[in-house]
Structure 1
Amino acid sequence: MDPFEEKLRRLRNSFNTGKTKSAKFRTEQLLSLGHFLQDNKKQLHDALTGDLGKSAFESDMSEVILCQNEVDLALKNLQTWMKDESVSTNLLTKLSSAFIRKEPFGLVLIVAPWNYPLNLMIVPLVGAIAAGNCVVLKPSEISKNTEKALAELLPRYLDQDRWDSPELGLGKVSRLQGLLGCGRVAIGGQSDEGERYIAPTVLVDVQETEPVMQEEIFGPILPLVTVRSLNDAIDFINRREKPLALYAYSNSCQVIKQVLARTSSGGFCGNDGFMHMTLSSLPFGGVGSSGMGRYHGKFSFDAFSNQRACLLRSPGMEKLNDLRYPPYSPRNQQLLKWALGSQSCTLL
């Protein structure tokens, strides 16, 4: 048997025992995840510095604190999130109870990218655990220090976590160096592949067809494209695939509102950038080519849950179903139309 198939079989069997579904188990795992973040803060800071040159302040602001906030929120709200959600019924189902039950999908895979290697691993992991899933984790092989810290430390805290990390050997600095040839460098442009360093760089006279405008940059390179008007700027945005995030800056509130109203993106900030990502109350995700699904806070719980539609009818009431069965008549058709269109409160 293929070794990966064997691993998957064992993991699915583990989920099928029902162990991960109990509120007690989920709570214990979330508490342990919080302890992991608290106990190993220095090691995580050092790893993020080694991979991305982040200071402790930036690591806390963009990674560690956001992960801890997700853990705390899930622990506070887990019982509420897990409850069946009552929904309304019509007259045909008036004596039944209708509700949505949140079930874990089962075995899920989380693949973290290199740019926020801790945040984008732990935040979805919180939602997957809270939803009761068994999880396979794939840290980024590019952010090697964070990968090593996660692989060595996290399994000590979580129950039977599964790790896989194939060596893909991708070089992000050389890729970014190739983008520096687009347009003309107005500010910065220095790079050192050995030090994994790219200076903050502004490119001007950039053409829409150049590589720097055709792919995600994920680096300190800012290409500038000049347009004649706000309408042209909005047209430029809308000609391209929908972005993960869109940031509009202007002294005019009307300009901000127009950009928001006339474009589409996963997230949007007016006169700010990134900060929408810090709020567990806002869903984070893309649209179209920039991604699908939403996570953060309860959105993470929902993303990893099957929302199962349930209707429970008491026995001994089959006579009430006569309206649904032949012989059909115009009168029954009118009654059925009226009954299906009538809403009332659930009995659950």
Structure 2
Amino acid sequence: MDGVHEDVLGELRKTFSSGRTRGVTWRKAQLQGILKLLVEKEEEIFEALKQDLGKHPVESFRDEVGVVKKSATNALRCVEKWMAPQKGRMPLVFFPARGAVVSEPLGVVLIFASWNFPISLALDPVIGAISAGNTIVLKPSDLAPKCSSFLVNTIPLYLDPEAIKVVEGGKEVAEQLLQLKWDKIFFTGSPQVGRLIMSAAAKHLTPVTLELGGKCPTIFDTLSNSSDLQVAVKRVAGGKWGSCNGQACIGIDYVLVETQFAPVLIELLKKYIKKFHGENLKTLKNLARIVNKHHFDRVHNLLKDPKVAAAVVYGGSVDEKNMAIEPTILLNPPLDADIMTEEIFGPLLPIITLNNIEESIQFINSRPKPLAIYAFTKNESLKEKILQETSSGSLTFNDAVIQFICDILPFGGVGQSGHGRYHGKYSFDTFSHEKAVLHRSFLIELEPRYPPWNDFKMEFVSLAYDYNYVGLILLLLGLRRIFRTNRRQ
């Protein structure tokens, strides 16, 4: 066991025990610190993201800085409301009494960030943990080393260093951290690593939130209106290649479309690929880079299957020296090939044709539950079928990926695509324990709750449960009857 990490955990527990993170003043000060960091270090963030992933500043602001700024601003505005006890209407059977749900911080939380959005997927959960009043260890991904270095060097300058710490390192550091007892673990990454996180957390019965991924499908219905069709295809192209070049857990993994409509879809996708990114592998623009050689080889290997290569209808070129893969469209690759059984996490887009678009529901249900389903359709009946007959972390009609930045909706997976949720108030809830608090009075004592038992007490208890909200009158009448009977006896 690494004593350094034990010391870090000990210091954070001491800070948490002091109670200072529970106050609204501390929470707001940290949120303001994050906003100040984003403003003062924006150019450094852009540079780090460029070096790690080749992201353009516009993409970096849209998917990283802007996301965190919006989240921190929302939390700063709402945190006092979130912290306030939530009073509930008490059933009259408890009269006189009052009850509330009080949100209390869990304690010391461990947050694992992912490499594909190394700033937003680090700081967004931190905002939730701060809002809830916890102390925090943040472990950035070592696959985005510039962003990791930026966070470890910058966060102590803007946030409370005795309550929020950043720990760098690779697999060994992660394993050492997982041997310690935390009050919550929040992980963003692959299902494979998520299983390891969950297994380690089980040793201490530590609650976990797992933000994983999977193969997010898009259902593309026939759209007769030319304007709608152009917008829809543009959004598909943006949802596939415009979000970290397909290296996004909520990115489009494959498209389901009716056979006769596939050629139209493919031609329009080609049009927007060329418009957004160019058509020369050597001069591709506005595309994030494949993060490293391991992931480049992994995606490249998906194309090496001869049957998969034969399905390529656009792109497919690879530059091994610069680890670049052209945006690639495939038509009906084998369904048992790795490209259709593993999460792609890269710039390859399979298109699967169906006789009828409603067959897409059965296709999706035959596979693990996805993190997101996207459906482009104006058919209200089809929308209702998709809503009622499929299960996914989220469902978005007529757009892609944008649900991630909607703070009023929870973000998270289901089944293999993840456990738990966050964003906005849901982030606060994820890092809080909702404690039930009940206050009773000594004014009234209901004797039928105590032995010795008799038929009248059975009748009284039965009425109390059957008529919860008119229970007071019935209870009083029942008491009167019982007392009168007892006197006669």
**TM-score, normalising length from structure 2?**
0.66
Q: Relative to structure 2, which stretch is displaced further, 158-167 or 33-42?
A: 158-167
1:328 is aligned, of 453, 457, 461, to 453
Counterpart of 1:28 in structure 2 is 29
Q: Displacement of 1:143 after TM fit?
A: 1.6
Q: Which amino acid aligns with 1:82?
A: M
Q: Which whole-Å deviations, capped at 9, do the CAs of 1:275-311 have from their partners, x for residues lacking one?
A: 1112111111111110111111101001111011111
**1:54-103 deviation digits (Å, cap 9, x = unpaired):** 21111111121111111111111111100001112223322122110001
* Structure with larger Rg: 2
Does 329-338 or 15-24 show the bigger shift? Answer: 329-338
Pick from 413, 423, 430 the counterpart of residue 286 of structure 1: 413
Residue of structure 1 equivalent to 2:127: 126
Q: Aligned partners of 2:20, 2:334: CA distance in 1, in Å?
A: 55
Q: What is the CA–CA distance in structure 1 between the aligned matches of 2:319 and 2:8, rounded to whole Å?
A: 41
Answer yes or no: is the 8 Å Cα contact 1:284–1:296 preserved in 2. yes
- Residue 57 (str. 1) matches residue 184 (str. 2): no
Aligned partners of 1:249 and 1:256 also within 8 Å: no
2:297 and 2:166 mapped to 1: Cα distance? 28
Cα distance in 1 for partners of 2:125, 2:169 equals 21
CA distance in 2, matches of 1:199, 1:146: 25
Q: How many angstroms does 1:232 deviate by?
A: 2.2
2:319 alignment partner in structure 1: 192
Which protein, 1 or 2, shows the higher relative CO under an 8 Å CA cutoff with sep ≥ 6? Answer: 1
Confirm or deny: 8 A CA contact 2:98 2:440 kept in the other structure.
yes
Provide the residue aligned with 1:175 in structure 2: 298
Q: Find the counterpart in structure 1 of residue 381 from structure 2.
A: 254
Matches within 5 A, 1:34-45: 34-45=35-46
Q: Secondary structure at the match of 1:89?
A: coil
- Partners of 1:91 and 1:339 within 8 A in 2: no
CA distance in 1, matches of 2:15, 2:320: 44
Question: Contact 2:293–2:323 (CA<8 Å) still a contact in 1?
Answer: no
Relative to structure 1, the CA distance from residue 170 to residue 287 in structure 2 (aligned partners, 3 Å threshold; closer, same or farther) is farther
Unaligned runs of 5+ in 1: none
Cα displacement (A) at 1:170: 8.1
DSSP-derived class of the 1:223 partner: strand
> Per the alignment, in what secondary structure is the counterpart of residue 352 of structure 2?
coil
Residues of 2 paired with 1:251 and 1:2: CA distance?
A: 57
* CA shift digits 1:117-149 (9 cap, x unpaired): 111111111111000011110111112222122
Offset of residue 257 of structure 1: 3.5
- Structure 2: 5+ residue runs without aligned partners? 172-291, 471-489
Moved more, 69-78 or 255-264: 255-264
Q: Distance in 1 between matches of 2:62 and 2:296?
A: 24
1:193 Cα deviation after fit: 4.3
Q: Letter of the aligned partner of 1:299 in structure 2?
A: Y
Report if aligned partners of 1:142, 1:171 keep a CA contact under 8 Å in 2: no
- The amino acid that maps onto 2:137 is V
In structure 2, distance between residues paired with 1:175 and 1:298: 37
Aligned to 1:99: 100
Name the counterpart of 1:277: 404
> Which of residues 148, 155, 168 in structure 2 aligns to 1:165?
168
Q: Which has the higher helix share?
A: 2
Report the RMSD for the aligned CA atoms in angstroms. Answer: 2.0
* SS in structure 1 at match of 2:354: coil
2:351 aligned with 1:228? no
CA contact under 8 A between 1:142 and 1:170: conserved in structure 2?
no
Could you tell me how far apart the structure 1 residues matched to 2:319 and 2:148 are?
23
Shift of residue 224, structure 1, vs aligned partner:
2.0
Structure 1 residue 216: Cα displacement = 2.1
Question: CA 1:110 to 1:343, structure 2 compared with 1: closer, same or farther past 3 Å?
Answer: farther
Residue equivalent to 2:141: 140
Aligned residue among 335, 342, 348 for 2:468: 342
Partner SS, residue 39 of structure 2: helix
Which range is displaced more, 139-148 or 99-108? 139-148
Amino acid across the alignment from 1:124: P
Kindly provide the amino acid, as one letter, of the partner of residue 67 in structure 1. V
Aligned length: 342
1:10-29 C-alpha deviation (Å, 9 max, x unpaired) = 32222111121111100100
